[in-house]
Each structure stands twice: as structure tokens, then as C-alpha cells.
């Protein structure tokens, strides 16, 4: 997949209608937005297009919309918040049909620098999620050019992400990426495709199954692969260790053995926990005092489970990133939301904050952990997409990236 894409800096939008796919999938509580991160992330691209005299038409999905269109998943609160942040009215098209008469009329009346926001694209159901031709064409009919700035949705071949681009191309328009997408491509894409070495990848999280292709792809690309989190116990079992009541995926033990052999064959370092932090079970409540001990990885008692990497492992992993030039981290080292089992994740986050390497955090739980522990501003890049960043790390082609014009 080519990563050299045209961006909003490569087109002239003066007087032109520009459809911008953003990621406004924000958490709402009683109609109020509880986390504005995604809205703030979209502002640089929107401001650029306004300043260049474009007629800016924003679209996004919000929520899963399982039971058809409803006010609880309307983008109305986003329009209010955007108006406030941009210091100008963002006209909201409340029509559940998204691209109906109301939208067409509003676009026809736009002046340069005006902004409108369409209703939730998933209100069109399968037409959006199954990349329907008709809906893709209706979206394209509203605009002259298209900008994709929704990295969090770029791994989905939906009408507003992929389908629309075909019809924009047919009418001679441009399909480009916004600043947010550009940053993700520059950091995540290039970290994997052209990393500055030594390149260290750290994978954690609960399930091996979620990261199968990532492990395999990264072993080919990186110099050192570090495994932590719940998925490490399947690797330990594959080494022949007893793991007590720890999380394990017995169907993936052979896969883990294959990966250990692959690392050896390719001459890559594969680091696994040498010790583990164990308890009889989860504390309840999460900050309750419980008995916790650190034991070697080959000495986990039958009635205990591993809930974090051990102290020696945490130091070993922290050492491994010190000499790195590129580090990609996806998934926590243990149950970091519980104070008793946060040490592994915190030690790794601290080491990343102190290294000179380019440090890239792949969305989801690892982004939450880094921010929660107060190291967010010390990282080079924190990805905005959980699933999308994983697929990038797998080496998969992302529909939203592939659909943009190459430079």
C-alpha cells in the first residue's frame, strides 16, 4: 500500500464544495459530550479548509446505531460543540436520511468558508456499513472534492470512507487525506514500513487471538518484540510452564510455539516475562488490599493467576527500549486499572517517556494507560484509532488510506 498520499495541502478548495469524513464518534452522556478529544483532533483540517475558502461539509458516524435512527445517536451535540470551538455557526442537517432535500438545499446556499454537518452516516444502516453504491453517490453529489480525516474508521470499507471516493474521481474531483490521517500515516505506517533501527515493538493486552497477525508481521519488521499482558501466559504455557489460573488460549499454543521458532529463525529477540505478579483473583473493589507476590514465570502456583509482569521483567523491558530508535507499543502489560497490577505498564510507560526514540502508542487501552499515568505528552505520537492502528501494524491495506489519491 502506497503511503505517499495527497493531503489538504495539495489541493485548492477555494469556492469548491468539500466533503470531509471526520471521526466524531464521541462519548455522550444525557446529550452532553464527555470527551472532546476527537473533535479537537479534527479542528486543524476544518480550519485549513475554511481559511482556504472551501464550502465545508462534514460527515461522521456516531455509535453503532443498532436500532435505527434515534435522537440519542444524533450528531446534534457535535454541531453545537464545533460552532463553539470554531467561533462560527456550524449548520446541522438533522434529516435522518443524511443526504436528503434538506442537505442538498443547504449546500446549494453555502458561501465560501461556511460549514455544515450532516446527520450520523450510520442512520442509513447497511447502505453505509456495506458500502452501498446509492448512498456513496448521494454523498459524492453534494461535493466536488473529498477529504478523509477519520483514521479511527479508515479500516472499514464504508460508503462515507471508501465508496464515495469512486464517484468523486468520476467527476474529476480529488480524494485527499486530512492532517490527522497524514500524521497517522507518517508515524504508524512509516514506523512499520521504514523504521529507524533498532526498532522495538511491545505487545500486550488480554488476547493472543486479537494480535495473531500483528505478532507475525512485526516479527518480520522489528529487531526486538516484547510480549506482556494476559497474552503472555499462552506463550509461557507454550514454553512448557505451569501457569495456574492465568488467562490462556489453549487453541493458540501451537501458534505461540511457531512464533518463538520464527523469531529464532529470523534472528530476532523475542522477550517474554521472566517473572510475574500473581494473586488469588481480582481485588474487589479494584483498589482493595489483597495478597500479591512476584514469582518466577516457571513457578506460578496452581491456585494463583498472573495479573501483571513481574518487577524483573518490567526492568528488562524498560532496558530494552533505552537503546531503541523506534518503539511501537500496543496493549498494557497487566491489569493497569488496578493499583496492585499497574507497575508493569507504568514502568514501560516511564521508560518510553525517557528514551530518545520515536515512541508511537497504538490507540485503545495503551493510549488510555499512557494518558492516565500522566506520560501522554512525552510520547511522539498517540494513535486515535484502536482497530485501525492494529490493522496498520498487521501490514493490512486500510480502505480509507488506499482510497486517497497518491502524490
How many other CB atoms are found less than 10 A from the CB of residue 234?
23
C-alpha cell of 50? 475554511
Query: Which residues have C-beta within 8 Å of that of residue 354, sequence separation ≥ 6?
Result: 322, 378
C-alpha span between 390 and 373 (Å, rounded):
22
User: Residue 156's pLDDT is what?
Assistant: 93
Topology given in CATH for the domain delimited by 8-180: Rossmann fold (3.40.50)
State residue 1's pLDDT score: 58
How far is it, in rounded angstroms, from Cα 400 to Cα 164?
11
CB 310 within 8 A of CB 300: no
Domain 187-393 matching CATH 3.40.50.1260: the answer reads yes
- pLDDT means per 10 residues, the chain with 407 residues, are 88 98 93 89 97 98 95 97 98 97 98 98 97 97 98 94 98 97 89 90 89 90 96 96 96 96 97 97 87 96 97 97 95 92 96 95 84 92 84 88 94
What cell does 59 get? 460527515
Do residues 59 and 20 make contact, with C-beta atoms less than 8 angstroms apart?
yes
The residue from 54, 364, 385, 400 that is catalytic is 364
Among 53, 132, 387, 395, the one annotated catalytic: 387
Main-chain phi, psi angles of 72, to 5 degrees: -65, -25
Q: C-alpha angle 248/253/259, rounded to 5°?
A: 120
Strands 55-59 and 145-148: unpaired
DSSP sequence for 355-392: SSSEEEE-SHHHHHHHHHTT-GGGSSEE-S-HHHHHHH
Q: What radius of gyration do the chain's Cα atoms show? A: 23
Domain boundaries, the chain: 8-180, 187-393
Catalytic residue among 16, 21, 38, 237: 38
Does the active-site annotation cover 344?
no
Q: Which residue has the cell 476527537?
A: 38
- Our answer to whether residue 387 is catalytic in this structure is yes
Sheet architecture: strand order including 381-382: 269-271, 224-227, 199-203, 326-330, 358-361, 381-382
Indicate if 187-393 has the same CATH topology as 8-180: yes
CA 254 to chain centre: 29
Q: Which of 166, 183, 207, 312 is catalytic?
A: 207
Amino acid at each position: 500500500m502506497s503511503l505517499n498520499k495527497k493531503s489538504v495541502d495539495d489541493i485548492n478548495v477555494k469556492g469548491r464544495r468539500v466533503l470531509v469524513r471526520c471521526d466524531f464518534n464521541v462519548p455522550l452522556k444525557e446529550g452532553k459530550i464527555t470527551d472532546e478529544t476527537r473533535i479537537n483532533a479534527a479542528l486543524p483540517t476544518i480550519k485549513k479548509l475554511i481559511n482556504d475558502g472551501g464550502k465545508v461539509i462534514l460527515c461522521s458516524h456516531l455509535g453503532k446505531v443498532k436500532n435505527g435512527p434515534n435522537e440519542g445517536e444524533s450528531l446534534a451535540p457535535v454541531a453545537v460543540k464545533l460552532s463553539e470551538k470554531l467561533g462560527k455557526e456550524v449548520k446541522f442537517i438533522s434529516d435522518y436520511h443524511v443526504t436528503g432535500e434538506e442537505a442538498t438545499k443547504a449546500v446549494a446556499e453555502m458561501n465560501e468558508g461556511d460549514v455544515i454537518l450532516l446527520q450520523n452516516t450510520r442512520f442509513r444502516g447497511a447502505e453505509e456499513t456495506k458500502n452501498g453504491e446509492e448512498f456513496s453517490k448521494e454523498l459524492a453529489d453534494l461535493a466536488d472534492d473529498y477529504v478523509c480525516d477519520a483514521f479511527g474508521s479508515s479500516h472499514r470499507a464504508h460508503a462515507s470512507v471508501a465508496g464515495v471516493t469512486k464517484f468523486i474521481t468520476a467527476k474529476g474531483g480529488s480524494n485527499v487525506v486530512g492532517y490527522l490521517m497524514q500524521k497517522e500515516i507518517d508515524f504508524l505506517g512509516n514506523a512499520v514500513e521504514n523504521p529507524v533501527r533498532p526498532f522495538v515493538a511491545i505487545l500486550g493486552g488480554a488476547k493472543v487471538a486479537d494480535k495473531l497477525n500483528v505478532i507475525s508481521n512485526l516479527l518480520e519488521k522489528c529487531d526486538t518484540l516484547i510480549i506482556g499482558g494476559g497474552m503472555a501466559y499462552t506463550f509461557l504455557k507454550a514454553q512448557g510452564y505451569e501457569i495456574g489460573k492465568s488467562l490462556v488460549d489453549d487453541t493458540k499454543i501451537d501458534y505461540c510455539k511457531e512464533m518463538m521458532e520464527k523469531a529464532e529463525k529470523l534472528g530476532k529477540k523475542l522477550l517474554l516475562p521472566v517473572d510475574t505478579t500473581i494473586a488469588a483473583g481480582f481485588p474487589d473493589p479494584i483498589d482493595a488490599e489483597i495478597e500479591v507476590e512476584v514469582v518466577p514465570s516457571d513457578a506460578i502456583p496452581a491456585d494463583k493467576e498472573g495479573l501483571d509482569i513481574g518487577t524483573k521483567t518490567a526492568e528488562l523491558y524498560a532496558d530494552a527500549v533505552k537503546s531503541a530508535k523506534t518503539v511501537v507499543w500496543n496493549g498494557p502489560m497487566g491489569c493497569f486499572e488496578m493499583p496492585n497490577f499497574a507497575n508493569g505498564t507504568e514502568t514501560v510507560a516511564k521508560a518510553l517517556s525517557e528514551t530518545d526514540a520515536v515512541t508511537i502508542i497504538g490507540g485503545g487501552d495503551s493510549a488510555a494507560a499512557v494518558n492516565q499515568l500522566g506520560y501522554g505528552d512525552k510520547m511522539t505520537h498517540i494513535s486515535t484509532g484502536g482497530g485501525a492502528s492494529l490493522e496498520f501494524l498487521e501490514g493490512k491495506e486500510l480502505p480509507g488510506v488506499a482510497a486517497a489519491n497518491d502524490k
